[in-house]
Structure 1
Amino acid sequence: MIRNLIRKAHTCNDILENFSPLSSETDRVYKIFTNAVNGLLYPENGEYLSTFGECSSYYALQGIKKRMQAHPVGAKILQEKPRIRTPYVDFNKLRALSPNTFGKQYIDHMDSLNLVPDERPLVKHIGDLDLAYIFQRYKEIHDFLHLLLSKEISVYEEIEVKIYEFQQLELASTALASLVGPLRLSLWEKIELLRNGAPKMISLANKGKFCMNVHYEAHFEQDMEEFKKWFFSP
């Protein structure tokens, strides 16, 4: 199996180097349980939620793969496996783009929050390279969704983004964050989420483009408002 993965590697050598397959179904269930519990106890540590997502999302990832294969852009992404990290994206070139462009506003958003794309944890427990890539791609476009949805990284806004992601992707990790995350909110924030935040995210997710079938890199030089209008259109 490893030989097959290496032949298909393309831009996924770092994932292969990080590859740590689960030894059994018992191991998978154990990791799902322990990382779910630790994710609840230590929500500031994203590694727990990431591992929980890897170990619990096999069937959801299969569904995402089918949707990508059936779409011309999604199929191209699966074939080429583009990445949102060094050296595949020149972030300094994004900083030199016009202020109105998607790429410039993305890197300004990241810089303002002191976020570094290369620091996203690598997938390591998913043995199928296509599925591993899909989960890695999902993690790497997460910041794009924050920007397109005009959301910062507060607990409330992170939950809104997770609701959007769950509505489109049905990943277990997004479900856990959407259901458990609100426990950390104030009563007023919970009411606001139920009345406005969640319904708006669900509506946007239902009417907009399927986020995994968008080649974001091809839109870096596009006007941000034009891109957002297209992204959230049927």
Structure 2
Amino acid sequence: MIACLGETTGERALKYMREKMIESNEGAEILRDLPRINSQTVCFKTLAEMPQNTLGRVYADFMRDNNITADSRLPVQFIEDVELAYVMQRYREVHDLVHATLFMKTTMLGEVTIKWVEGIQTQLPMCIGGGIWGATRLKTKHRKLYLNQYLPWAIKTGLNAKFMQGIYFEKRWEQDIDDYHKEMNIKTLVV
């Protein structure tokens, strides 16, 4: 249902995302190449054997630690424009990379935080709604952390970081995660 909601309410945001991608060489290259992130295109065994502090290893470890498969993202069904459908599919496939590179767990607190970063960057209504409504489900202890640390960090990251949907992650597996953070203007959350 969330996937359907994202597709049926996101046309304006998808056009915005496509324009943001076109603004950078890397994003434009993604739109030309149309890469996919799944178990057929990414060798997680190879990524898991990379040095500890590489983007590829961070991603592989995140997927393993959270028992997530890159094949769990549904294909886009309700967007007729082929390029916009790809932008939505790319958003879905990059979601776990955003989690991994921001060191954000898949807990409710982590998901709500990532939804704010994504909502600010993509303008997708489902992300903005997830950030707002998901926060209402936080327990008291987490709500305090959220309001005092996670939400301010998410807003700052969403506004200041480079557009993450325009990052050609597949060509950056060997990049040092600290160098990636510097290049993307990302400051990690310290709690």
Query: TM > 0.5 between the two?
Result: yes
Distance in 2 between the 1:100 and 1:73 partners?
Answer: 22
Question: Aligned residue for 2:77?
Answer: 124
Is it true that 1:90 corresponds to 2:43 in the alignment?
yes
TM-score (norm 2): 0.92
2:14 alignment partner, one of 35, 41, 61: 61
**Structure 1: 5+ residue runs without aligned partners?**
1-47
Partner of 1:229: 182
Aligned-partner Cα distance in 1 for 2:50–2:184:
20
Aligned to 1:49: 2
CA RMSD of aligned residues (A): 1.5
Q: State the partner residue of 2:59.
A: 106
* Residue 176 (structure 2) pairs with residue 190 (structure 1): no
Q: Is the 8 A contact 2:55 2:101 kept in 1?
A: no
Distance 1:56 1:150 in 2: 29
Counterpart for residue 117 of structure 2: 164
**Aligned counterpart in structure 1 of residue 99 of structure 2, from 146, 149, 152:** 146
Counterpart CA distance in 2 for 1:70 and 1:197 is 29
The percent identity for this pair of structures is: 30
Residue number in structure 2 paired with 1:181 = 134
Distance (whole Å) between structure 2 residues aligned to residue 214 and residue 169 of structure 1? 13
Larger RCO, structure (CA 8 Å, separation 6 or more): 2
- Tell me how far 1:111 sits from its aligned partner: 0.7
Distance in 2, Cα, partners of 1:179 & 1:108: 29
Alpha-carbon distance in structure 1 between the residues aligned to 2:132 and 2:56: 32
Q: Give me the whole-angstrom Cα distance separating, in 2, the residues matched to 1:55 and 1:158.
A: 21
Q: Deviation at 1:128?
A: 0.8
TM-score by length of 1: 0.76
Alpha-carbon offset, residue 179 of structure 1: 1.1
Moved more, 124-133 or 180-189: 180-189
Q: 2:121 & 2:158 partners in 1: Cα distance?
A: 6
Q: How many Å apart are 1:191 and its aligned residue?
A: 3.2
Question: What is the deviation of 1:190?
Answer: 2.4
Instruction: State the shift of 1:188 in Å.
Output: 3.5
1:72 paired residue among 12, 22, 25: 25
Alignment of 1:193-212 (within 5 A): 193-212=146-165
Which deviates further from its counterpart, 118-127 or 160-169? 118-127
1:214 to 153, 167, 181: 167
Q: Structure 1, residues 114-167: CA drift from partner, whole Å, max 9, x if none?
A: 100012111111111111110111111111111121111110111000001011
Alignment partners' CA distance in 2, 1:199 and 1:49: 25
Alignment-mate amino acid for residue 194 of structure 1 = L
- Cα separation, 2, equivalents of 1:139 and 1:127: 17
